[in-house]
Amino acid sequence: MKKAKRNSVLIILVFILALALGAYTAAVGLGKHHIGAAENIVLGLDLAGGVSITYEVVEDNPTQQEIDDTIERLQMRVDGYSTDGSVYQEGTDRISIEIPGVTDANQILEELGKPGALEFLDETNYELYATGQEYEALLTGSDVKAAAAAIDNSGTTTEHIVELAFNDAGTEKFAEATKTNIGKVIYIIYDGAVVSAPVVEQAITGGSAMINGMEDLEEAEKLAQTIRIGALPLTLTELRSNVVGATLGQDALSSSLKAGAIGMGIVALIMIAVYLLPGVISVFALCAYVVLTLLCLNGFNASLTLPGIAGIILSIGMAVDANVVIFTRIKEEIGAGNGVKVAIDTGFNKALSAILDGNITTLIAAVVLYLMGTGPIKGFALTLGIGIALSMFTALFITKNLLKAAYNLGLKDQKLYGVKKEYKVQGYVKFSRVAYLISFIVIAAGLIALPIFKGKTGSSLNYTLEFTGGTAMTVDFDEYYDLEAAESKIRPVVAEAAEVSDATIQVQNVKGTNEIVIKTPELTVEQRDNVENALRSSFGVKEFAIENISGTISSEMQRNAIVSVLVATVLMLIYIAIRFDDVKFGAAAVIALLHDVLIVFAIYSIGRLSVGNTFIACMLTIVGYSINATIIIFDRIRENLVLMKSKGDSYEHIVNTSISQTLTRNIYSSLTTFITVFVLYIMGVTSIKEFALTLMAGIVCGAYSSICITGPLWYALKTKFGKNDKGNKKVTKKA
């Protein structure tokens, strides 16, 4: 016994020391572009600014397809610097790039490179090229569709390779080139230098190829990046480069962090009030979760934007969920007559499957989104994956060991742990018919609103500049206006002159100058003139330049988001079907997930909320949050099928009982998550309020569907399509 106490004291001391050290390392204070000593956590363009580069197309009269292709490939290159970097069209022949967290424009220009010619030459043409004579290339950069570093494990040894993919024209050219050059070298030349000289081993006709012989993955990635840069349909020349300021107000970061701290404090009070001693321990585990999250973001060189910070604040609420599941189980065991020690062990064991299945299902979505997504989707997936892994670790390791340590130190009274109150089984299955009708009306209203608003406003949804593009004005004022002054003085003048909403206008300083970049929805010639006249009459203006700009969310990014969500959904269905040994669980989970997404979509549609980067992040968050709540219900149904079906209970009664047993968990878990986001909504800046509002709607919707939709939906599928499942419909007992 003395040894157990010594070990418990040691565990607590080590935890306190590690937590203090981690907190100091991760968040000593706010730096200029970094969060505390976690110097690899780079604040995004919206919080700390970065580098803005504008290229001009060298070729005359480029087609829109050529510009779009060039933007797509530059975006892939920019993703190597930051998942939050953006590439968009400006005017008819310019492409602008914005990369957060960096201030050395010259370094970026040098590393990004002049997107010069990429050519594939056979040996004969290479000799002509090397001696300055005329030659013809086998392929050029416009024939290359993609290039990526990879690891080949198909042989006896592991090789680092570069995988190439060609477009239709490139496929035909490469097939002919490899047929006539078997055993010979094909030189890959970028910007006047040979970057690779692979030997052709066989004719390649399928449109894809592999370059091997790389010493390590870093060399393979460097070659792949070079090919991606060079594989541009157009030649670009630098027009200008600037270091730009943040696009949000100066108080955006501080107010969000304060909101997170206050929300976390309220959650801590709720956990202590409801779960007593375990609640106190969960607060320490939650602090560890926050510190570990910052350290992991630092380790992954994450670029943190305001929606990312909001996502972390949301994950604080979600991290509590595993603790709620565990503590509810412990209360149940004590209520069943078990001692505290047995209740702790049994509670963790019974909660394990629900925690693992819920988090692994969400982790599947995160991995798919990271591998298939681009830009902000990839960044969101990284944050989500880190949050999932750490929430499991803190709940199953830190909370468990601290709770056992507290018990070994003498905190054994059952009153410190609480007892779960008796529950009354309600008729959730019968009520589900009403719930289905309510959901159908809301979803239908959201879909009907699309063509109505399309006819009234010309746009079915309220798309932001990130989707639609707009007009960018670079204004050189007589005096310097910081971002706060620009937002309070200049932005209202622009909004009134252009007759657009103040919330749709973005302003941004250019470092070291009096210039301010003002981005608005696309303006007519008359609106442009009105804005210019208003600014010149209200302020001292030296120069005024204006161009139309494209959206930063490309069509490929939209396609990737949709495809990655579909793939993730299918994989989650397969996992749930395997784990629960019944495909109807998976089908019900996917339908419930689709229900939650459509409900929130209806809120965007009817409420005309802004649809931009935060829309994508919000929908993806709901996907992860919704499936987690669903798994909790299914886990209890799975358990009760074993315990109750053999006693003659009907499927309807099993479902009703399972929902009743998990009701308090659903309420407290949703409440803690809701509170963290609600505080963010109250204290956050304008740009984050809509994001927080829709997240709150998603949380409420997730709780509603897990109680009223998910279980009854499984019951409907089970009794309609299950083998020998239609009998035994009587209720033989009540809890």
Q: Is the pLDDT of residue 586 over 90?
A: no
Q: Residue 510 gets which letter from DSSP?
A: B
421 vs 642, higher pLDDT: 642
pLDDT of residue 377: 66
The amino acid occupying position 33 is H
Q: Does residue 498 contact residue 527 with C-beta atoms inside 8 Å?
A: yes
725 vs 595, higher pLDDT: 595
- What is residue 250's three-state secondary structure? coil
Q: Say which range, 367-376, 535-544, 668-677, has the weakest mean pLDDT.
A: 367-376
Best-predicted range by mean pLDDT (237-241, 396-400, 681-685): 396-400
For 181, the token pair is: 């050059």
pLDDT of residue 106: 63
Q: Is the pLDDT of residue 27 over 60?
A: no
pLDDT of residue 681: 85
pLDDT of residue 657: 93
- Among the listed residues 208, 319, 230, 234, the one whose alpha carbon sits nearest the alpha carbon of residue 55: 234
332 vs 314, higher pLDDT: 332
Predicted confidence band of residue 31 (pLDDT cuts 50, 70, 90): very low
Predicted confidence band of residue 185 (pLDDT cuts 50, 70, 90): very high
Angle formed by the axes of helices 686-705 and 306-335, to 10°? Answer: 30
Predicted confidence band of residue 553 (pLDDT cuts 50, 70, 90): low
C-alpha span between 43 and 36 (Å, rounded): 11
| Helical residues (DSSP H) of 300-397, grouped into ranges | 306-335, 340-372, 376-393
φ/ψ region of 115 (left if φ > 0, alpha if ψ in -120 to 50, else beta) reads: beta
Integer CA distances (angstroms), 519 to 44, 114, 391, 657, in order: 18, 27, 39, 55
> What is the percent of the chain where pLDDT is above 90?
15
Alpha carbon 285 to chain centroid, angstroms:
24
Q: Is the pLDDT of residue 576 over 80?
A: yes
Q: Which single residue is written with the structure tokens 């490139």? A: 170
Query: pLDDT of 436-486, one tens digit each?
Result: 999 999 999 999 999 999 888 888 888 877 777 788 888 999 998 887 788
pLDDT of residue 180: 92
For 238, the token pair is: 């630098």
732: number of Cβ within 10 Å:
11
C-alpha span between 550 and 409 (Å, rounded): 64
Query: pLDDT of 319-333, one tens digit each?
Result: 788 888 899 889 888
Predicted confidence band of residue 253 (pLDDT cuts 50, 70, 90): low
For 113, the token pair is: 């490179």
DSSP result, 9-65: HHHHHHHHHHHHHHHHHH-S-B-SSEETTEEEEEE-HHHH-EEEEEEEE-SSS--HH
Q: Does residue 161 contact residue 220 with C-beta atoms inside 8 Å?
A: yes
Mean of all residue pLDDT scores within the chain: 80
Query: pLDDT of 701-727, one tens digit each?
Result: 888 888 899 999 999 998 887 654 444
Query: pLDDT of 196-231, one tens digit each?
Result: 999 999 999 888 998 988 888 888 888 887 787 666
CB within 8 Å of 261: residues ≥ 6 apart = none
Q: Does residue 700 contact residue 340 with C-beta atoms inside 8 Å?
A: no
Predicted confidence band of residue 343 (pLDDT cuts 50, 70, 90): very high
As a whole number, mean pLDDT of residues 252-263 equals: 76
Q: Is the pLDDT of residue 735 over 50?
A: no
Q: Which single residue is written with the structure tokens 């960096």? A: 102
Rounded (5°) CA angle 537-542-545: 95
Q: Say which range, 256-265, 293-302, 584-593, has the weakest mean pLDDT.
A: 293-302
Q: Does residue 565 contact residue 620 with C-beta atoms inside 8 Å?
A: yes
Rounded to a whole number, what is the distance in angstroms from the first to the last CA of the chain? 39
**How many Å is the Cα radius of gyration of the chain?**
29
Q: Is the pLDDT of residue 346 over 70?
A: yes
Q: Does residue 652 contact residue 424 with C-beta atoms inside 8 Å?
A: no
> What DSSP element (H or E) covers 666?
helix 663-683
- Among the listed residues 383, 362, 267, the one whose alpha carbon sits nearest the alpha carbon of residue 315: 383
Q: Which single residue is written with the structure tokens 């099993």? A: 654
487 vs 378, higher pLDDT: 487
Q: Is the pLDDT of residue 143 over 90?
A: no
Predicted confidence band of residue 295 (pLDDT cuts 50, 70, 90): confident
Q: Which residues of 307-333 are buried (b: 16+ CB within 10 A; e: fewer)?
A: bbbbbbbbbbbbbbbbbbbbbbbbbbb
735: number of Cβ within 10 Å:
12
pLDDT of residue 379: 67
Q: Does residue 582 contact residue 634 with C-beta atoms inside 8 Å?
A: no
Domains within the chain, CATH numbers bracketed: 2-41+249-416 (1.20.1640.10), 48-107 (3.30.70.3400), 118-231 (3.30.1360.200), 428-447+554-721 (1.20.1640.10), 470-549 (3.30.70.3400)
pLDDT of residue 37: 45
0.85 cut: is pTM over it?
Answer: no
